[in-house]
Every structure is written in C-alpha cells, then in structure tokens.
Amino acid sequence: MIEALIAIGVVGLILIVWMWSLYSKQAENRDLKRVSDIQSLRQAMAVIKSNNGFYDRALCELGAVSGCAGKSGSALLSLMPQLADFTDPKTPGTACANAATCQAGSCNYAFTNLAADSYEILFYLEKGVNGFSEPGCYSATPQGIRKY
C-alpha cells in the first residue's frame, strides 16, 4: 500500500514538472512570434518612410496595430495584407495603449506614437526570448526594440 502511494506521488510529481515545462515552452513560442511580428512591423515602417518620406503615411491611428487594417489607403496595409490578424498570440483584445496597460501583462501590439519622423509600438513579452531576456513591456521605434 505504501509503495503504491509512493509510486502515485512520483508519477504526480513527474506530471507537474512536465506540465510546467510545456507551459513554459508555449510562452517562449508566443514570445518568439511577438518579436517576429514586431520585426516585420519595423521593416514595413522603414519601407513606408523610404517610399513616402514619413512614417505617418502608414495612415494608422493610435491604438491596436490591427486597427490599421480598416484604414483605406494605408501604406502599412498595402505592405502587410494580413494586418487584421496581426495580434498578440495570447491576448488579442486588449491593446497596449499606454505604459500601465503594457506593464500589467499580455496585451495587443499598439501604436502609442505615430508622427512624420517617429513611431512607437508597445508590446509585452511573457518570459523574454533571444536578445530580450526579461519579461515585461517593450517598445519598438525606428531606432530598435528596448525594454520599456
């Protein structure tokens, strides 16, 4: 009887460790997608500036990046036809509209600044990945990506 209880306890412990590692891997995969999405956005914004002279020719409003998909004539939409689906893999509903929202946890990519010569996109990483080793809020600008 005692041996059976010990065996059940060991199996339970193994299952807990396995589930935790699975969850951790899923968060890492979501972070990889986030960084890839933001790099694609930065590249598209560079093309917009190169072709039109100004970032604001993206014709997007402040807020969720995916909201640009509804803007007729958006240079960003012409470069990224899948823009309507460009959302955070975990929390596509809530936009990272400001520092407080972004730092609170997972939120959708959002423009917090979009001017002729600059832009800022906020996004959240759950664990950190690649060169972005910490979880938390990050800012993407023409100069690069940095922890917010």
Using one digit for the tens of pLDDT, what is the confidence trace for 94-106? Answer: 899 898 999 888 8
pTM of the complete model? 0.82
Is residue 53 in a domain? yes
Q: Answer whether residue 20 shows pLDDT above 80.
A: no
Residue carrying the six token digits 């969720």: 64
Residue at 130 is within a domain: yes
Q: Is the pLDDT of residue 148 over 80?
A: yes
Domain enclosing residue 48, as ranges: 27-147
Q: What is the pLDDT of residue 136?
A: 94
Report if residue 5 sits inside a domain: no
Domain assignment present for residue 14? The answer is no
Q: Report the pLDDT value the prediction gives residue 15, as an integer from 0 to 100.
A: 72
Once rounded to an integer, what is the mean pLDDT over residues 8-23?
71
Residue with the larger pLDDT of the pair 10 and 74: 74
- pLDDT tens-digit series, residues 85-143: 889 998 878 899 898 999 888 899 999 999 999 999 999 999 988 889 899 999 999 99
Domain count of the fold of the chain: 1
| Phi and psi based region of residue 146 (left: phi greater than 0; alpha: psi -120 to 50; beta: remaining) | beta
Of the candidate ranges 5-14, 16-25, 45-54, 62-71, the one whose mean pLDDT is the lowest: 16-25
Report how far residue 29's alpha carbon sits from residue 128's, in angstroms, rounded to the nearest whole number: 10
- In percent, how much of the chain has pLDDT > 70? 95
The verdict on residue 45 lying in a domain is yes
- Residue 139 to residue 110: CA distance in whole angstroms: 10
On whether residue 9 sits in a domain, the answer given is no
Comparing CA positions, the residue from 111, 108, 138, 118 lying closest to residue 48 is 118
Look at residue 77 and tell me if it is in a domain.
Answer: yes
